[in-house]
Structure 1
């Protein structure tokens, strides 16, 4: 094959260069020349990894002063080190308690029917069978109500005589029993109507219900030389974690004895539920709950026990018919802010009294509330109420209620109001359904007296001005339960109420504002008795509780038959 001119020229150049290399003595370089190889991509330089030598002596790890001191064998520690060690230990204990509480929550469905054994404290065994026996032995009681015209005297001398008689019965009450009935701060209390025992129920800040048989004979125990007999706790008590978890989100806000079944107790809680505790079945069941974090502040019932009125932290009052499903509820927005207490008139149960943070107490006619038609709601709310009435609360907001109250059909819904200078903490009807007592952060207790005539028509009350008011320190602050004046539920005695005093006493006032007596005992009581209650039948009985969960029974000294403790 004939070569091209290009190839001939190329071979001539190679021969020429070869001769030149030989002439210069670069024969070896010439030998290295050869046919061109395929071009390859160069690899990056691989740096050799040098293994890092460890230090001969390991560096010490960072440790707390407490651990370092312990490692060195130091015996003494500074006050600062001791405080730090105690703080670390307290945090460890809190973490352990939180873990145990979370485990307890996981095992206890919130809405279930719960048995006494489940509710009882697990860390300190209790004789729950004895509690059931104690409660089942009480006589069945039905709430008694007064007469609006009882104890209404035209002559002032009769009032003076009635006050004198009452003072003679209660002025010498003493501390006859004490015990730490609940673990945390007492929020509310109620006295059971049983007359053969002093049974008092206390609800605390963490959802615990304390049941105290205050004058029960002490249990036989081995003699302990370190504990004097007089320092033992009085009576017997049981603690049930009725609402959970055991945190301030489960505080028991109110307790009531069922008006028609004294073997049954109702409790409301900040966990947005109300439970019924039966001492016959030994179980607790939920009868009402909400899922919108709207805390329940209080509730009340008429003497029939078939209904329940519930106030909440958003200014609403809900009506629950206990004869129907627990979700069959109508809610009325009666205030723009929290309604702290609601009270049903015992002799005229369709008159409802509310006290709120708006500084106002108001009186409503619930007959008009129950007659409010669903058509007043907007179209979406009407459809929801008709389609799912048994599953949702029918909610009437404030604008609907205001409009309805100004219409002809709603005439008489709103009957009267009185504005305090600061938040109205509470307002309650007396057992006759005639008088009202309120407490307020303006450090004043006020009393109203409403004659029967004002209830007869649909017209607003001509005046709701209190006939008596007195100064009373109600500045409890953050760590004490709000003070609330509580009427004695006894309809057979001259009307009077109890209220705590910041000077560690329990004060008793007549319905006219007379100070009957101020019960105190500095040698045995050194805390504010913020929560008070009275026996429904026995005049010479009162009970109180403080911020540590310690409770006191006040009774004549001759009734002392149990030990008291500090």
Structure 2
């Protein structure tokens, strides 16, 4: 409700209108300043905000308007021909300089809107951080990379299912909201938990290409008020967070679809985006990336139904593209113990397992119909699969009821978990003999099916059930729930825990991830960029 009467509002509007009219006529007079209207804002309880204030770019003030009459230089009617020639030459040079500056500014604006395909240094993406924030981020990174944390694979052997699942229930059922903050500016699309066991360092990717880095257990910052008094922003822990614009421009075309740490030491982080900036892929939108434990290769899925193999030790021009579907491939996952096996999930309703030893043998007498000899379209792939040489390349092909959102191998490489729009989570288990064979996997139904609503709609990030990467405990996975909880299931499909807190969480926790080395740590993010750390309350 406005604090002004109708008369005062009308008076202020007339003053503003008259001021604009006089400005157009190049007439300056003293008018009372236009007062700012104040509004009474209703406040409501919201999740804790980050301690630091988000920087906003200040727009450059618009140049003062000037009439054409005033811009035109005053010409002396008695000037000599020599002075006239000199004046006209100076005018011509001035106009040429202005045109050059205008073209340069337009080119800079065009370049700023283009995706960045080069490697980015920390300084390139921290330009908006002040020196104090940058120093804090560097300190956090220096602690996290003090030791190497290679990805661990495998799983506990000879475990009794009931006892192991009971242990998960006991430990994970006690998790509570211990920290929450607005980590990214927009909707969370992806997340990854850094493996350092001494910290809770979580990376979140958002809809507009922003990478949020959250040190969830760090002491909250303090802010000084106008009188110089310092007070903590909130009683509840919110940690510290930093926002880096790693994909550009900041639009929905730059959404960060996947985040992966280098599996050899976790000192490098890879992000894939819909702007195709893992490396240049023309107009193909990148949906997912994965790396084998060696860290020397990368497999990339895209919206054109393709898989790209990239050897990180070679130039990107040697990357090979295989169109394995006629529709979007939403995810790709490398088997951690048998890296020649890939599992893909597609909008064509298919989940498929590929043997890359066969897939990469395509070439030679298989002439590509594209300009790039390293590109193999679907016709070439299908012809190869039907040939004697291609036998065993496609190891398994399971059709789902609707589009398959994701499919991932577990840390032991013996199970696959898929998420589908038909509201089912499916689990497949494979014996060692099947994985070691060179023939097609036997046709079978999933070992378990879990009824789970995956109808996220337009405003919630698509659910993708995620395995816990911790190999020390019985296999289990996390998935968001439309009832605003975070669900944890065992590898046998049994519900282990349903984490919820109606007093603190009012949105769907669509994106989830787990700590690779600490069991009792789970993180989640929602459509507004707010993120939650779940851990024991008495930690």
TM-score normalised by the chain length of structure 1: 0.74
* Alignment partner, residue 198 of structure 1: 200
Deviations 1:219-247 (A, max 9, x none): 34436899875356611111110000000
2:499 aligned to 493, 516, 519, which one? 519
Give the Cα–Cα distance (whole angstroms) in 2 for the partners of residues 333 and 178 of structure 1.
41
Stretch deviating more after TM superposition (259-268 or 217-226): 217-226
1:70 Cα offset (Å)? 6.0
**Counterpart check, 1:547 vs 2:537:** no
Structure 2 SS opposite 1:375: coil
Q: Work out which of the residue numbers 260, 263, 285 in structure 1 matches 2:264.
A: 260
Instruction: Please provide the CA RMSD for this pair.
Output: 3.1
In the other structure, the counterpart of 1:219 is 221
**Residue 247 of structure 2: which of 243, 249, 252 is its match?**
243
Alignment partner of 2:365: what SS?
helix
Q: CA deviation at 1:471?
A: 1.0
Of the structure 1 ranges 455-464 and 355-364, higher mean CA displacement relative to structure 2 is found in 455-464
In the other structure, the counterpart of 1:130 is 136
CA distance in 2, matches of 1:95, 1:313: 37
SS in 2 for 1:178: strand
Residue 538 of structure 2 aligns to a residue in which SS? helix
For residue 151 of structure 1, report the CA deviation from its aligned partner.
4.6
Where in structure 1 are there 5+ consecutive unaligned residues? Answer: 1-63, 80-92, 275-287, 385-391, 560-566
Task: Give the match for residue 29 of structure 2.
Answer: none
SS for the counterpart of 1:132 is helix
| 1:363 counterpart (345, 353, 357) | 353
CA distance 1:221–1:469, shift in 2 (3 Å) = same
Distance 1:420 1:95, change over 3 A: farther
Q: Given that residues 290 and 333 in structure 2 are in contact (C-alpha distance below 8 angstroms), is that contact kept between their aligned partners in structure 1?
A: yes
Distance 1:418 1:239, change over 3 A: same
The one-character-per-residue Cα deviations of 1:232-284 (angstroms, maximum 9, x if unpaired) are 6611111110000000010000000000121110000011111xxxxxxxxxx
Q: Do the aligned partners of residues 123 and 540 (structure 1) sit closer, same or farther apart at CA in structure 2, a change above 3 Å counting?
A: closer
Contact 1:151 1:494 in 2 (8 A): no
Q: CA deviation at 1:493?
A: 0.5
Aligned residues: 451
Q: 1:117 and 2:108 equivalent?
A: no
Encode CA deviations 1:438-482: one digit per residue, 9 max, x unaligned: 111111111111111112222211124201111111111111100
Matching of residues 15-30 of structure 1 within 5 Å: none
Distance 1:101 1:471 in 2: 54
Paired residue for 1:352, among 311, 331, 342?
342
Displacement of 1:152 in angstroms is 5.7
**Equivalences for 1:389-400 in 2 at 5 Å?**
392=372, 394-400=374-380
Change (3 A) 1:233 1:316: same
Matches within 5 A, 1:291-302: 291=282, 293-302=283-292
Distance 1:140 1:121 in 2: 28
* Alignment CA distance shift 1:342-1:113 (3 Å): closer
CA distance in structure 2 between the aligned counterparts of 1:553 and 1:170, rounded to whole angstroms: 13
- Deviation, 1:137, is 2.0
What is residue 143 of structure 1 aligned with on the other side?
151
CA contact (8 A) 2:188 2:206 kept: yes
Question: Structure 1 134/407 Cα, relative in aligned 2: closer, same or farther at 3 Å?
Answer: same
Give TM-score scaled by structure 2 length. Answer: 0.78
Unpaired runs of 5+ residues, structure 2, are: 1-9, 19-31, 40-55, 63-104
1:488 to 468, 492, 496: 468
Aligned to 1:14: none
SS at match of 1:118: helix
SS in 2 for 1:415: strand
1:174 to 168, 173, 176: 176
User: 2 CA distance for matches of 1:454 and 1:336?
Assistant: 28
**Alpha-carbon distance between aligned partners in 2 of 1:66 and 1:304, rounded to the nearest angstrom:** 69
Q: Is the 8 A contact 2:222 2:230 kept in 1?
A: no
Query: Is the Cα–Cα contact under 8 Å of residues 186 and 545 in structure 1 kept in the other structure?
Result: yes
Q: Is the 8 A contact 2:214 2:239 kept in 1?
A: yes
Q: Which residue of 2 aligns with 1:322?
A: 312
- 2:412 alignment counterpart: 432
Distance in structure 2 (CA, Å) of the matches to 1:95 and 1:230: 28
Question: 1:165-187: per-residue Cα shift (whole Å, max 9, x none)?
Answer: 11111101111111111111000
Alpha carbons of 1:126 and 1:531: their partners in 2 closer, same or farther (altered >3 Å)?
Answer: farther
Distance, in Å, in 2 between the alignment partners of 1:234 and 1:512 is 35
Cα distance, 1:326 vs structure 2: 1.7
Residues 327 and 393 in structure 1, CA contact (< 8 A), matched pair in contact too: no
> How far has the Cα of 1:324 moved from its partner?
0.6
Kept in 2: contact 1:311–1:341 (CA 8 A): yes
CA distance in 1, matches of 2:449, 2:221: 47
Alpha carbons of 1:483 and 1:226: their partners in 2 closer, same or farther (altered >3 Å)? farther
Deviation, structure 1 residue 101: 13
Q: For the structure 1 residues 497 and 95, does the alpha-carbon distance in structure 2 shift closer, same or farther, using more than 3 Å as the test?
A: same
Given that residues 416 and 464 in structure 1 are in contact (C-alpha distance below 8 angstroms), is that contact kept between their aligned partners in structure 2?
A: no
Aligned match for 1:188, one of 172, 187, 190: 190
Corresponding position of 1:290: 281
For 1:534 and 1:360, the matched residues in 2 are separated by 27
1:533–1:193 CA distance, 2 compared to 1 (3 A)? same
Q: CA deviation at 1:123?
A: 7.9
Query: Any conservation in 2 of the 1:121–1:241 contact (CA below 8 Å)?
Result: no
**How far apart, in 1, do the equivalents of 2:253 and 2:12 lie?**
36
